[in-house]
Chain A
Amino acid sequence: MNDLILTPNIDGADDFYAELLSLHEGLDKADSDALNARLVLVLANHIGNRATLTQALAAAALKEEV
């Protein structure tokens, strides 16, 4: 099964979110955008599976059917 996980799956969600915010601290908007882009690519590579990535793209686009 390579279905995209869309149920809660992060242990310590608040810790993760705080860490994500702290990564952006002190950056200007352009640097923050670039950081997010790199993060997307790093995570995509970790997922690897093409079908799952397509599902993730649709989920992020807020398309109803994923």
Chain B
Amino acid sequence: MNKIFEVPLYAYNRSPDQDASAPVRHKVAVIGAGPVGLAAAIDLAQQGIEVVVLDDNDKVSFGSRAICFAKRPLEILDRLGCGQPMVDKGVQWNMGKVFFDDRQVYDFNLLPEEGHARPAFINLQQYYFEEYLVDRVRELQADGAPIEIRGRNKVEAIGTHPDHVKLEVETPEGSYTIEAEWLIACDGAGSPTRRMLGKDFVGRVFEDNFLIADVIMDADFPTERWFWFDPPFNKGQSALLHKQPDGVWRIDLQLGWDIDKEREKRPENVIPRLKAMLGEDIEFELEWVSIYTFQCRRMEQFRHGRVLFAGDAAHQVSPFGARGANSGLQDTDNLVWKLKLVMEGKAPESLLDSYDIERVHGADENILNSSRSTDFITPKSEMSRILRDAVLDLSEHHEFARPLVNSGRLSVPCTYDGSPLNSADALDGPARTRPGSACPDAPLGDGFLLPKLADKFTLLTIDADAPDMIEEDGVEVTRLALSVKDDATLALKERYLGDNDSGVYLIRPDQHVAARRPSFDEPQIRAAIRRATGKE
């Protein structure tokens, strides 16, 4: 039986563009049909913007790759109409164990906060993730949405112009040229787009190699995340065991710097390592083996005129903390509504500079967190190791040391503090919903808050009066009128009002808070809408 990642999902088909006498101009071109490129394209298409996705391959990602998807990306996928299959297929987990040397030092329960539609995390192979995104593309196509994926279409050259980009595309039947008003480059850490445009990509190299092995086994390990520091089966290094759907387990073994990668990847060398870890008697089959090194780096700017970089093409982090694909989805979530307003002439082009400001801020936060995890997992000096081991020894005996143990700080959305799109906080409310924050979910009887926020600006009123609709210079804002009585658990009040009796929130299409006040004030809200759309 073929594995899903061996089956072409978007096979090459000749496009009429290849026979056009002059280059056909598209609204938006996306380079790369990975998680980030597909999410960008779906977001555009479901809002009626024509988009063509070009990928040099015709299959989903090879091997499981990204496996841990956090709550915020799942909420974004809900908005894109494909969160449910991911959650249905994914493995949910809350328990973890930490081992040091030959013993377990402690275990933990993530104890996710109640009152959210989505779990804190799911584990799901990237190939499933991409497959469900492609399914959503097909569904949109069936509904007549303007979206197309062109497999085995490799962009070989890019010409940038003030009002469009020109792409030279190589196919199995020769090359052709298309144009696009805007280009979103989601072509991964080795981004050919970045290289073709001669843009920088600097940061810190971590001198370490990790072996990833995905094994299929019928073992009764619990659905938990197990992390080993300096275990007997991998002395001086680290190891991770994590469950994925279909009885697939992710095993991550740190190998050190001076190794022969080709040799280490061979099954005759991988299998004894895994047996030492799992036990001699465990039967398993290798699904995918890879050796990776990593860097923490980003482009200086994510916007270059009409070319916008997103995901790993724009920034790269260590895998600890699941901040790669997760942050890429937050990039396009941030970008697409801005691009739409600019394309419709409802916002100035300079609004796109806020994409750069906000997502560079997000990338820096992710790089900081993942670098710290890496420094804890792979100490780079003797004292760093001594302190690390002291934390682990103490963690076995004393609870206080456990928050210092860092095997990856799991991805949470970045708050855009200081963004030029935010209005000054006029509500003395909870810090977690201050301007710039991603809206936390809350239960509303049988449903939840976030699905009620559409792809547009929303004026959320909680026990406050306001018009049902406001239009400010072409930007429409629809009211969502709620009362603290709508949520018997009082999570809505706790998350959005705190000690206040009422609140009015201006919420952006990406579900981030732009402004908040205790009550509706028309001039202030109009000013906040202008500010949130780059007009102040």
Contact = CB atoms under 8 A, between A and B. Distances in A.
Interface string A9-31: 11001100110110011010100
Interface string B364-386: 00000100100110000111100
Interface in A7-58: 7-10, 13-14, 17-18, 20-21, 24-25, 27, 29, 32, 36
A29 B382 contact: yes
Interface residues of B, number: 22
B393 interface: yes
Contact of A17 (B372, B397, B398): B372
Contacts of B382: 29, 32
Size category, A interface: 20 to 34
B393 A62 contact: yes
B116 interface: no
B444 to A, nearest CB: 33
The DSSP consensus for interface residues of chain B is helix
B225 interface: no
B375 A14 contact: no
A7 B399 contact: yes
Contacts of B400: 5-10
Most buried by A among B384, B400, B406, B409: B400
Contacts of B393: 62
A35 to B, nearest CB: 9
Given A18-B375, A36-B383, A62-B393, 13 more contacts: A7-B400, A9-B400, A10-B404, A14-B372, A14-B404, A18-B372, A20-B387, A24-B381, A24-B384, A29-B382, A29-B383, A59-B394, A60-B394
The 4 closest A-B pairs by CB, nearest first: A32-B383, A13-B403, A6-B398, A24-B383
Interface of A: 5-10, 13-14, 17-18, 20-21, 24-25, 27, 29, 32, 36, 59-60, 62, 64
Interface of B: 369, 372, 375-376, 381-384, 387, 391, 393-394, 396-400, 402-404, 406, 409
